[in-house]
Amino acid sequence: MIDPRLHTLRVLHAQGTVTATAAALHLTPSTVSQQLRLLAAELDVELLRPEGRRVRLTPAALTLVAYADGLHARWEEAEAALDRHRSGAAGHVRVSAVGSALAALVAPALRALRTEVPDITCQLTEDPGEDRSSLLLTDRTDIAVVIPAPGDPLPDEARVERWPLLTEPLDLLVADGHAFASRDEVELTEAAAETWIRAGDLADQHPLLLHAAASAGFTPRLAHGAVDWYAVAALVGSGHGICLLPRLAPLPAGLLVRRVPLAGRHTPTRSLVACVRRGSAGQPVIARTLTALETTARETARAWERGSR
């Protein structure tokens, strides 16, 4: 990246003779002389003056050597910085995720990663209403954390690699005064006659309700709908219906609602999957981020197991 003739001049300054310089650089003396003549001609300054059998660097040459030393020092610093990028010790990663996963998995995973590797920067977004597969394939994000619809493969399998993160239970959210509120667990079939709220993202959460209800042998009677979990919880707390609530979704404080675990044969779950462009998982920063997401997902699953004992 730096003109190699500058290095030849630096070595000559250190070695003192053209012959010694040629030996150090594994060149011929004539090649060394030609390099320095061409450099002097291009810069339009005299670099060398004969002094017996030796040559002496001119004041202009000494000035150039000082600048060349600075250039090479900066290049060494650049190489060290680039090594940090190559090893994943620095870089930038973009992650798009569904809201509950963004809050409970992605944010803490990236906090832990940046504590371990401070020179990694990140951009974390929810991107509501966006097709996260499209964001990924058009290079607007590096990792997409998605919820595949039950039984449906992700699109563009030839261009996307999948990293399963977590199988997340879905609970029942009911008002404090509801008959289910005092129960330790409920079977989904018991809720067949209830009024349901279409809760969460239409693209992923609503299909989970329809699939779970169909598996339990009923079609949910839908009366209301909201995407934001605070709004959903407010509808439930006001007695307008019940809903499925992902285990990762936080319950807002101050609302009169109760999360009730579902049990039995038709217990619904949802899968959280990290997707990357095929081949990109080997990039150090993306690889480190995937590992951080997997670690946080395992810790979350273990916490659920401890809580259920």
Q: What is the pTM of this model?
A: 0.74
The overall average pLDDT reported for the chain is 90
pLDDT at residue 309 in the model: 56
140 with 124, same domain: the answer is: yes
Q: Please state, in angstroms and rounded to a whole number, the distance separating the CA atoms of residues 202 and 153.
A: 18
Do 105 and 236 share a domain, yes or no? no
Torsional sign, CA 106, 111, 115, 119: positive
CA 124, 130, 131, 135 dihedral sign is negative
What three-state secondary structure class fits 309? coil
35, 42, 54, 61, 81 from 27: Cα distances, Å: 11, 21, 18, 21, 31
Q: Which of 86, 112, 143 corresponds to the end of one domain?
A: 86
304 and 256 in a common domain: no
pLDDT at 215: 92
254 and 121 in a single domain? The answer is no
**What's the confidence (pLDDT) of residue 75?**
83
| Amino acid 117: pLDDT | 92
Same domain? For 198 and 244 the reply is yes
Of 54, 86, 118, the residue at which a domain comes to its end is 86
Verify that 295 and 254 share a domain, yes or no.
Answer: no
Give the 3-state secondary structure of residue 292. Answer: helix
Count up the domains in the chain and report the number: 3
Render each residue's pLDDT in the chain as its tens digit; 309 residues: 789 999 999 999 988 899 999 998 999 999 999 999 999 999 999 999 988 878 999 999 999 999 998 888 888 788 777 777 777 788 899 999 988 899 999 999 999 999 999 999 999 999 887 888 888 888 899 999 998 876 555 556 668 889 999 999 999 999 999 999 999 999 999 999 999 999 987 777 888 999 999 999 999 999 999 988 899 999 999 999 999 999 998 888 888 999 999 999 888 999 999 999 988 888 899 999 999 999 999 999 999 888 765
Please give the residue range of the domain that contains residue 304. Answer: 92-166+272-308
pLDDT of residue 154: 58
Question: Looking at 86, 121, 142, which one is the last position of a domain?
Answer: 86
**CATH code assigned at 186:** 3.40.190.10
Domain identity same for 202 and 219: yes
The label of the residue with tokens 């390099």 reads: 35
- Tokens read off for 14: 């250190």
Q: What is the pLDDT of residue 149?
A: 73
Report the amino acid identity of residue 166: L
Q: Which residue type sits at 275? A: C
Q: Is 240 found in the same domain as 183? A: yes
Report yes or no: 212 and 266 within 8 Å, Cβ to Cβ: yes
Query: For residue 258, what is the enclosing H or E element?
Result: strand 257-260
174 shares a domain with 43? no
Provide the residue type at 270 as one letter.
R
For residue 71, the domain's CATH number is 1.10.10.10
